[in-house]
Amino acid sequence: MRMIEAVRAAITEEMERDERVLVMGEDVGRKGGVFGATDGLYAKFGEARVLDTPLAESGIVGVAIGAALNGLIPIAEIQFADFIHPAFDQIVSEAARTRYRSNGDWSVPIVIRAPFGGGVHGGLYHSQSVEAFYAHVPGLKVVVPSMPADAKGLLKSAIRDPDPVLFLEHKKVYRLVAEEVPDGDHLVPIGPAVVRREGVKLSCFAWGLMTHYCLQAAEQLAADGTSVEVVDLRCLAPLDRDTILESVRKTGKAMIVHEDNITGGFGAEIAAIISEHAFDSLDGPVVRIAGPDIPAMPFNTPQEEFFMPNPVKIAEAMRKLAAY
Amino acid sequence: MPLPPRVRCPKPDTYRSLAPEVQSTEAVTARASDNGPQPHTLLALYQVMVMARAIERRLWVLDHLEPPHTVARSLWPPHPVGRSQPGRKAAPLGVGGATPVVTGFEAVQAAAAAALRIGRDWVVPCHLDLALCLAAGVSPLDVMLAVFGRAADRASAGRQSPGAFGSRAGRIVMTSATAGRSVVQAAGIAYASKVSGRDEVTLVCSDERGVQSGDWHEGINFAGAHGLPLICLVEDLAGAQPLAQSSYGSPAARAEGYGLASETIDGGDFAAALAAFERAVDRARSRGGPTLIHASVVDLTSIGTDGGMRPAEELEALASQDPIDRMRRRLQGAGLLDAAADDDVQRECARVVAAAVEEASTAPSPDVASALDNVFSRV
């Protein structure tokens, strides 16, 4: 099963399990979503639970918040993460803060799904990585699966979570890989990272598409006799610090790979955690491989390739760090 | 109609007689269309109005005259928009002296509460809605605990700025600092009511400035498109906004463009307001869709738009339009209230507020460690 089908399976099963669950967003109904994540749900569950909304992201999230306050469990789809910014206020100032400002009296159990990331010629407005903005926000969980089984299990957990969850799905991963996905109540807890490949020479931390690129790069280094550990973080908030630090203490070297531009990207937070808590274990600089500090990913092929980390760039950086 | 027994303004703990958990809402929401509200309902709503005014006046004193740091100095009650405060020294937080503008909104808020089934319908208030929230179950002590930022503040444990009322049990939704932002959420609440097949009505309130925000428009657009059981109250202090900052065209006209029914009312006229809310509630419950009610009230405060003091004769002329005085005259005309009973109401409200201040001012602040609580669920 591919990730897009895994996402659809998770939503379908949760809507079958709990009639409070509903889907809302732009073109999620009759069209079945721009990527097909909600394909067939409109026919199966009807208009009231598979709701086509106006093209107004703040309104989508705001309506979802209200529906959650009144007992429903909305899954709000933002058609592309690039367009989530009008809803920043509703997500950050409202959904993520409601439990805190009411001292636990109110909560907002919503999931906001958003396809993100580049490498698909999406240009400036269909390629962005937005995780750093939101992983900064206490009260909000940020989940970024890289594998189909995780996508299903984490999304089901997100839907059952009593707090707001931003669920970022890399659009290039939707149909990139396929794997066995457990039927039925397959739940993956929100929080723990997973070691995708064990190694001893250096640790590489990634999420989304970059997990796959790091695994490909690690395979190249293995051919050279260099053992690289690849950790798929899966969740950025809460962040599995223990797995990160345990890996760094084992290998002594750390690399973070993300698509988002480097300055203020989430890699900076991981680097800071490592330097604060595993400084004595380090045998080299903490390295970040990330997009350049330009406003967004260009549409044209050479500049898109310039922007995106890829297995070749990552492998080169791995070799350099391993030799440090 | 014979006079009822002398009115007693409820004590703080019994002020919740209007709240759902201790009393059937039927008495409070007696309908004007059924020969009007019952006498005790009218009197209870009058008490709410007087209590709101008493709280507001006490807050003004606390904010201006008490020693610094005795209260959590705040932005609430809100200040007249765009007005300087001549002769006033700056408050410790740089807020400046405050002349509250909650004054004038008491009647329209009491009428809104009277038309709703408190505790079953949803109230999404804004910072102006002191009287509405008192009618919906918030007590004067609740208000003061929030003003002092105390641990026992039921809405927020002293976290949220005062004036952000909330009670999940009472279905009073705690909102943030931006009035328009809550309108889309209210549309979501109403959507949930509709698709769940419940005949709940949601009331969402904003000031006139909220009408100008994008979220307000997205919210009423959604409500209109889905015919939601939503009432959008716009509370407008006449003359508070310079023309350049005001909406072009009335809120009611805008609402009609989104498919909402709309009414523009004199917010100081309790009877007119109650009739408008009852029509809106009937429309919502009968799946007739949302309604916008634009309620204008007269600015009764003593500071003019130029920041100077308004002439005494101007204020005296305005006094006859004070919604509390109008309500009092209505009750007296109906034989429901005499001067002695009214004195009792005034004195009892003052006593209740003084007691609430005393209790709240000596209540403990939250533990510092509790600042880390309730970021996420513990489940």
Q: Quick one: average pLDDT of A115-132?
A: 96
Per-residue confidence (pLDDT) for residue B102, from 0 to 100: 81
Rounded mean pLDDT, B207-223: 92
Query: Nearest Cα to A168, choosing from A153, A151, A185?
Result: A151
Q: Residues of B299-310 as b/e, b for ≥16 C-beta within 10 angstroms?
A: bbbebbeeeeeb
d(CA A58, CA A26): 12
Question: pLDDT grade, residue B81 (50/70/90)?
Answer: very low
| Of B8, B36, B4, B10, residue with least CA distance to B23 | B10
Helices B214-226 and B181-195 cross at an angle (nearest 10°) of: 20
**pLDDT value, residue B74:** 52
Map out the domains of chain B as residue ranges: 12-362
Write out chain B residues lying below 8 Å of A103, CB-based.
155-157, 159, 373-374
User: What are the structure tokens assigned to B349, written together?
Assistant: 């409200």
Instruction: Give the pLDDT score at A243.
Output: 98
Going from N- to C-terminal start, the domains of chain A cover 3-170, 194-322
Is B228 within 8 Å of B234 (Cβ atoms)?
no
Q: Catalytic site residue A126?
A: yes
Sheet of strand A165-170: strand arrangement: A50-52, A21-25, A73-77, A111-116, A165-170, A141-143, A235-237
Torsion sign over Cα B81, B85, B88, B93: positive
Q: Which carries the bigger pLDDT value, residue B13 or residue A215?
A: A215
Q: Per-residue pLDDT for B83 more than 70?
A: no
Kindly tell me if the per-residue pLDDT of B14 is higher than 80.
Answer: no
Superfamily of domain B12-362, CATH level 4:
Thiamin diphosphate (ThDP)-binding fold, Pyr/PP domains (3.40.50.970)
- pLDDT band (50, 70, 90) for residue B378: confident
Least CB–CB distance from A103: residue in B157, B181, B187: B157
pLDDT above 70 covers what percent of chain B?
Answer: 78
Least confident of B45-54, B305-314, B347-356: B305-314
State the DSSP H helix or E strand holding residue B111, giving kind and residue range, or none if neither.
helix B106-115
Question: Of A142, A155, A193, A121, which Cα lies nearest the Cα of A37?
Answer: A155
pLDDT of amino acid A71: 97
* Reported ipTM: 0.96
Mean pLDDT, residues A153-172 taken together: 98
Q: How far is the alpha carbon of A261 from chain B, nearest alpha carbon, in Å?
A: 29
B155 interaction partners in chain A (CB closer than 8 Å): 102-103, 105
pLDDT category of residue B50 using cuts at 50, 70 and 90: very high
**CB pairs A-B closer than 8 Å:** 137
Between chains, do A105 and B174 touch, taking CB under 8 Å as contact?
A: yes
Q: Measured between beta carbons, which residues in chain A are less than 8 angstroms from residue B186?
A: 66
Q: Which of A85, A121, A126, A212 is catalytic?
A: A126
**A142 neighbors A131 (Cβ within 8 angstroms):** yes
Instruction: Please answer whether residues A149 and A6 qualify as being in contact, where contact means their C-beta atoms are separated by less than 8 angstroms.
Output: yes
- The answer to whether B48 and B7 are in contact (CB under 8 A) is no
What's the pLDDT at B76?
Answer: 55
Number of Cβ within 10 Å of residue B274's Cβ equals: 26
Are B168 and A58 an interchain contact pair (Cβ–Cβ within 8 Å)?
no
pLDDT value, residue B244: 53
Contact A101 B185 (CB under 8 A): no
Largest CA-CA distance found in chain A, in angstroms, rounded: 59
Per DSSP (E only), the strands in A29-162 are 50-52, 73-77, 111-116, 141-143
In the DSSP assignment, the letter for residue B123 is E
Distance, in Å, from the CA atom of B109 to the CA atom of B137, rounded to the nearest integer, reads 13
| Torsion B311-B312-B316-B317 (CA) sign | negative
SS3 B104: coil
Whether the predicted pLDDT of B100 surpasses 50: no
Q: Please, is B70 exposed, middle or buried when counting C-beta atoms within 10 Å of its C-beta (0-12, 13-18, 19+)? A: exposed
Nearest-CA neighbor of A7 among A167, A116, A120, A232?
Answer: A167
pLDDT of B96 over the 80 cut: no
Closest chain B CA to residue A49: B195
Using a CB–CB cutoff of 8 Å, tell me whether B19 touches chain A.
no
Tell me the average pLDDT across A65-93. Answer: 98
Per-residue confidence (pLDDT) for residue B240, from 0 to 100: 62
CB-nearest partner of A62 from B196, B219, B374 = B219
Measure the CA–CA gap between B169 and B171, rounded to whole angstroms. 6
Give the pLDDT band of residue B35 (cuts 50, 70, 90): low
B 184-213: CB under 8 A from A: 184-193, 195-196, 200
Predicted pLDDT at B21: 32
pLDDT, averaged across chain A: 97
Distance CA A37, CA A30 (A): 12
Q: Which CATH architecture has domain A3-170?
A: 3-Layer(aba) Sandwich (3.40)
Q: What percent of chain B has pLDDT over 90?
A: 59
Q: Which of A70, A75, A85, A141 is the mutation pick for testing B, counting most B CBs within 10 A? A: A70
Q: In what order do the strands lie in the sheet with A202-206?
A: A194-197, A228-232, A202-206, A254-261, A287-291
Contacts of B195 (CB under 8 A, 6+ apart): A22, A48, A49, A72
Q: For chain A, first and last CA: distance in Å? A: 40
Please compute the mean of the pLDDT values over residues A235-252 and round it to a whole number: 98
Residue B27 has pLDDT above 80, yes or no: no
CB B233 within 8 A of CB B205: yes
Interface probe, candidates B191, B220, B373, chain A, greatest A C-beta count within 10 A:
B191
Measured between alpha carbons, how far is residue A215 from residues A199, A218, A257, A309, A323 in Å?
Answer: 11, 5, 11, 13, 19
Residue B177: which pLDDT band, with cuts at 50, 70 and 90? confident
Domains A3-170 and A194-322 share a fold: yes
Pick from B293, B299, B346, B350: nearest CA to B322? B299
CB A298 within 8 A of CB A120: no
- pLDDT top residue among B307 and A78: A78
Residue, of B14 and B361, whose pLDDT is higher: B361
Task: Kindly give the residue spans of alpha helices, DSSP state H, lying in A136-200.
Answer: 148-160
Please tell me whether residue B339 adopts helix, strand or coil conformation.
helix
Residue-wise pLDDT for B316-331, tens only, equals 888 889 999 999 999 9
- Judged against a pLDDT cut of 60, whether residue B87 lies above it is answered with no
B162: closest chain A residue by CA: A101
- Helix intervals (H) in B310-379: 312-319, 323-333, 339-362
Give the Cα separation of A152 and A4 in Å (integer).
9
- In angstroms, how far is CA A179 from the centroid of its own chain? 18
Q: Please, what CATH class does the domain formed by A194-322 belong to? A: alpha beta
CB-CB neighbours of B47 under 10 Å: 25
